[in-house]
Amino acid sequence: MNLALRIDERLDAIPAADWDALRPDDNPFLSHAFLAGLERHDCLRADWGWQARHVTLWEGGQLRAALPCYVKSNSHGEFVFDHAWAHALQRAGGRYYPKLLGAIPYSPVVGPRLLAGRGAAAQRLRAQLLRALLEQREILQLSSAHLLFLDDADRAACDAADGAWLARQDIQFHWVNRGWPDFEAFLGALKHKKHKNIRAERAQVAACGLRIEWREGASLDDAEWDAVHALYLDTFDAHGNHAALTPAFFRHLGAALPGRIWLALARDATGIVAMALFLSSSTTLYGRYWGSRVPAPGLHFELCYYQGIEHCLRVGLQRFEPGAQGEHKLARGFLPTLTHSRHAIAHAGLRRAVADYLAREGEQVTAYRGELLQHAPYAQPPAASG
Tens digits of residue pLDDT in 311-342: 999 999 999 999 987 899 999 999 999 999 99
Asked whether the predicted pLDDT for residue 301 surpasses 90, the reply is yes
Mean pLDDT (the chain, rounded) = 95
166-178 burial, b for 16+ CB within 10 Å, e for fewer? bbbbbbbbbbbbe
Bond preceding residue 98 cis, omega within 30 of 0:
yes
pLDDT of residue 383: 58
Phi, psi of 295 (to 5 degrees): -85, 55
pLDDT of residue 1: 66
- Cα torsion 314, 316, 319, 324 to 10°: value is -30
pLDDT of residue 385: 45
Asked whether the predicted pLDDT for residue 78 surpasses 90, the reply is yes
Q: Which fold has domain 178-317?
A: Aminopeptidase (3.40.630)
Best CA proximity match to 41, nearest among 256, 236, 360:
256
| Residues comprising the chain, all counted | 386
Q: Span 223-227, mean pLDDT?
A: 97
Question: Helix (H, G, I), strand (E, B), or coil: what is residue 265?
Answer: strand
Asked whether the predicted pLDDT for residue 241 surpasses 50, the reply is yes
pLDDT of residue 324: 86
Cα–Cα distance, 33 to 206 (Å, whole number) = 37
Cα–Cα distance, 133 to 57 (Å, whole number) = 11
Percent of the chain with pLDDT over 90: 93
255: exposed, middle or buried (C-beta count within 10 Å: 0-12, 13-18, 19+)? middle
Best CA proximity match to 380, nearest among 237, 188, 234:
188
Cα–Cα distance, 340 to 157 (Å, whole number) = 13
Q: Span 30-44, mean pLDDT?
A: 98
178-317 and 4-170+337-373 share a CATH fold: yes
Cα–Cα distance, 248 to 238 (Å, whole number) = 22
Cα–Cα distance, 125 to 112 (Å, whole number) = 13
φ/ψ region of 209 (left if φ > 0, alpha if ψ in -120 to 50, else beta) reads left
Tens digits of residue pLDDT in 249-275: 999 999 999 999 999 999 999 999 999
Cα–Cα distance, 244 to 107 (Å, whole number) = 12
Tens digits of residue pLDDT in 112-156: 999 999 889 999 999 999 999 999 999 999 999 999 999 999 999
Cα–Cα distance, 145 to 138 (Å, whole number) = 10
Q: Check: CATH 3.40.630.30 for 4-170+337-373?
A: yes
- Residue 72 pairs in a beta bridge with 50, 99
Cα–Cα distance, 267 to 102 (Å, whole number) = 39
Cα–Cα distance, 62 to 68 (Å, whole number) = 17
Asked whether the predicted pLDDT for residue 384 surpasses 60, the reply is no
Q: What are the sequence ranges of the domains in the chain? A: 4-170+337-373, 178-317
